[in-house]
């Protein structure tokens, strides 16, 4: 059974692009789709700290193309991606919250609502005042959510996923693995992911979160 792991952090615009497409990719081919929440800042700190230097001193020519490229991709997949005034954002609360949402079978609507809040409406998703309306909209109890994400169990799950990605050679978000060892990085690698999945048997699609 082909298995696709999707390591992701909502704070990445390229991850938003991939997130909107990944379910359809797996649905067309078959297999399992495992959502793996991470904290991408932890990945950068450990193995890709050059990201910070490029943000502090961006190449103006590359930056102009980056803005165009992101706008072109957003238009292509039919979403809105702006430039949030708070960037990078502290996504630790919402990424721990992915596990709470997953327990209720609500991970996709939860994550989609937060992607839209941050990249579409340019809201600071580190703030409870932004998170609470999302919880209400998707049907997750506020008290339970905030209680759980403050516990060691949920902190440890996010840390474990982040450490696992680093150990497996990942360096950012989104990172995808086909059948455990075949790694792909970035939204633009989805056609290669689909091709890799097609080389495997095609059972009914399943979704899991780990």
The Cα–Cα gap between 147 and 52 comes to: 32
| Residues involved in catalysis | 12
Calpha distance 140→133 (Å, rounded): 10
**How far, in Å, CA of 24 to CA of 13, rounded?**
19
Cβ atoms within 10 Å, residue 125: 24
Task: Give the β-pairing of 3-8 and 32-37.
Answer: parallel
Q: Give the C-alpha distances (Å, rounded to integers) separating 82 from 90, 119, 171, 209.
A: 17, 5, 24, 28
Give yes or no for a contact between 135 and 142, defined as CB atoms under 8 angstroms apart.
yes
- Concatenating the DSSP letter of every residue in 55-110 gives HHS--HHHHHHHHHHHHHHHHHHT------SS-S---HHHHHHHHHHHHTT-HHHH
Helix (H) or strand (E) holding 201: none
């Amino acid at each position: 059974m082909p298995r696709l792991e999707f390591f992701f952090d909502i704070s990445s615009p390229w991850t938003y692009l991939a997130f909107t497409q990944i379910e359809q990719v797996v649905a067309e081919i078959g297999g399992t789709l495992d959502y793996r929440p991470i904290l991408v800042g932890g990945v950068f700190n450990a193995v890709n700290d050059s990201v910070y230097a490029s943000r502090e001193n961006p190449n103006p020519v590359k930056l102009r193309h980056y803005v165009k490229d992101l706008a072109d991709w957003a238009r292509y997949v039919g979403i809105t991606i702006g430039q949030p005034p708070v960037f990078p954002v502290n996504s630790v609360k919402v990424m721990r919250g992915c596990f709470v949402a997953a327990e209720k079978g609500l991970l996709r609507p939860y994550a989609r609502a937060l992607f839209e809040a941050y990249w579409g409406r340019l809201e600071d998703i580190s703030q409870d005042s932004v998170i609470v309306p999302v919880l209400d909209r998707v049907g997750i109890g506020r008290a339970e959510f905030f209680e759980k994400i403050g516990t060691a169990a949920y902190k440890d799950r996010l840390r474990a996923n982040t450490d696992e990605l680093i150990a497996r050679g990942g360096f950012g978000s989104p990172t995808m693995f086909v059948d455990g060892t075949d790694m792909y990085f970035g939204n633009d690698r989805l056609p290669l992911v689909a091709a890799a999945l097609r080389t495997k048997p095609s059972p009914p699609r399943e979704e899991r979160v780990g």
